[in-house]
Structure 1
Amino acid sequence: MSTPPDVVDGVAISVTDDGIARIAISRPERMNALDGIASARIVAALREWADDDAIRVVVIDGAGGAFCTGADVVGIASTSLSQPEGLTDEQARDIIGGGTELARAVRAVRAPVIASVDGPAAGIGASLAVAADLVYATQRSYFLLAFINIGLMPDGGASMLFAAALGRARANEMALLGEKLSATDAFDAGLINRVVDDRAELDDLVTTVAGKLAKRSPQAVRLTKSALDAHTLAGLSAALDRELSGQATLLLTDEFQAAIAAFAGKSKR
């Protein structure tokens, strides 16, 4: 058995000899919600692998029973509430910019990216999962665009990624109502590739798929991925720009400030 990679800043990163790179989010105390430091570590790894011919496939996973429950709202609340006048426009753009760069970094990897989802994938966590090329999940998992519930809008490419996979009606329902989509419903709707019973089966499936991809012609795989992206994700960059602008505006509103204050109050109880 190989030695598990060390967790640094809430993220474990490893690469096997056969070119399978893995990122595991490990912040169990926050249900794998991402703060700026953890996001930056993931982005740095993805950028390092983006054009590396030795990387055949990338797996993004969440440890401890959750994939990722979004941005660390407690951290945002701490920054916002520590300032009597709230966030500045620059701070708002920096906060949202982390999610934007995360999505860009995932899509910039020329090798295929697999999301291994066990448990909730919410907010930017849902965006991160669906930004992958292949998404596998356990029965207990769900996807949630929770942004609207605290006065925000989808980011990390979600406004396009979910619409592209689900269609306009279902994506509108998720984004405007902020309701969960179970893994089974996500599979039936075409958002994810497969649903399995439990974590053990998920690990076996992802290991098998990653192994298959690692043995394929890397040039053929990368050119195939690029061709598919050109057809299905041509508008992603523009979507990310719109989200960054809109979300930065919403972070400065009274509605968001009230929602974040209420959340911070609950988290202290």
Structure 2
Amino acid sequence: MSEHDAAVDEVRAEVDARGVARIEIDRQHRMNALNGAATRTIMDALGEWSQRDDVRVVIIDGVGGSFSTGADVIDIAQTAGGNPTGGLDATQARGVISGGSELARAVRAVPVPVIASVDGPAVGIGASLAMAADLVYATERSYFLLAFINIGLMPDGGASMLVASSIGRARANTMALLGEKLPAAEAFGAGLLSGLVADRAALDATVDKVIGKLAGTSTSALRLTKAALDAHTMGDFEAALDRELDGQTELLQSAEFQAAMAAFAGSATS
């Protein structure tokens, strides 16, 4: 099976007769962590749907009890393994971080509302993926985590802007500088979520209700309303991606990150 075929199996993307487009991440063996192939599959689907007039709403979901635990560290470690020094060179580092930036950019480029359906952990680029959506619904057992600092990195995928603009400077600093979890209940209270529900069944019912409302609304009105809101709230998004790209490219080559990767590789083989 090719890398592309495997990615298609692990990321399902389809559009129904109502114009409801859905992405389901199904890499349960990695808690829905995203490798390069899965990331490209998501971006390809979002790019195609952005050009289609019949798509009215997009849903991004993770199955099996996780939304996404972020970038697949095994994938990064394998990339680093191609370097004789055991780390990432500048080109490799920029390629790794570019994937997260382009993923967040692909979400924001969708002209109709994007819903993130979060059940379980949303970590790293998984948290960025959820927060890049227009509407975010989560179960009570979910949490959001920017754990980059713990392995010598910084938030990416636009998270440095998306978190701060949603929950404020103090709490964003706690998440990004201390690498602390933000439980769903606190995320809802802080304004990061559109809705908080008890469990997966309630999440599906809530998202279906929202889909029904959006699917019955003027698509032109949705597109123009989203564009107007983005113009006011997302003005610094591209600048944030540029800052993250430069900073993360440097950090991915650092001794601290290389040591973290070496420790991970050692634990994975022991």
User: Same fold by TM (over 0.5)?
Assistant: yes
The answer to whether the 8 Å contact 1:9/1:37 transfers is: no
The answer to whether the 8 Å contact 1:18/1:214 transfers is: yes
Please identify runs of 4+ aligned residues in structure 1 that moved more than 6 A: none
TM-score (norm 1): 0.96
Q: Distance in 2 between matches of 1:31 and 1:165?
A: 26
Partner of residue 128, structure 1: 129
Partner of residue 87, structure 1: 88
Q: Distance in 1 between matches of 2:90 and 2:235?
A: 29
State the shift of 1:7 in Å: 7.2
The equivalences for 1:221-232 within 5 A come to 221-232=222-233
Aligned residues: 264
Partner of residue 265, structure 1: 266
The equivalences for 1:103-252 within 5 A come to 103-252=104-253
Q: What's the CA shift string for 1:111-154, capped at 9, x where partnerless? A: 10000000000000000000000000001100000111100000
Partner of residue 76, structure 1: 76
What is the identity, as a one-letter code, of the residue corresponding to 1:165? S
The equivalences for 1:32-47 within 5 A come to 32-47=32-47
The answer to whether the 8 Å contact 2:35/2:75 transfers is: yes
What is the identity, as a one-letter code, of the residue corresponding to 1:131? A
The worse-fitting range, judged by mean Cα deviation, of 80-89 and 62-71 is 80-89
- The CA RMSD over aligned residues, in Å, is 1.2
Helix, strand or coil for the counterpart of 1:245?
A: helix
Partner of residue 17, structure 2: 17
State the shift of 1:170 in Å: 0.7
TM-score (norm 2): 0.96
The answer to whether the 8 Å contact 1:9/1:38 transfers is: no
Helix, strand or coil for the counterpart of 1:8?
A: helix
Partner of residue 50, structure 1: 50
State the shift of 1:52 in Å: 1.5
Q: Distance in 1 between matches of 2:246 and 2:222?
A: 34
Q: Distance in 1 between matches of 2:126 and 2:255?
A: 25
Partner of residue 3, structure 2: none
Structure 1 runs not aligned, ≥5 long: 1-5
Partner of residue 26, structure 1: 26
The answer to whether the 8 Å contact 1:62/1:118 transfers is: yes
Partner of residue 62, structure 1: 62
Q: Distance in 2 between matches of 1:67 and 1:189?
A: 20
The answer to whether the 8 Å contact 1:9/1:41 transfers is: no
The worse-fitting range, judged by mean Cα deviation, of 79-88 and 183-192 is 79-88
The answer to whether the 8 Å contact 2:7/2:37 transfers is: no
Q: Distance in 2 between matches of 1:262 and 1:66?
A: 24
The answer to whether the 8 Å contact 2:125/2:157 transfers is: yes
State the shift of 1:74 in Å: 1.2
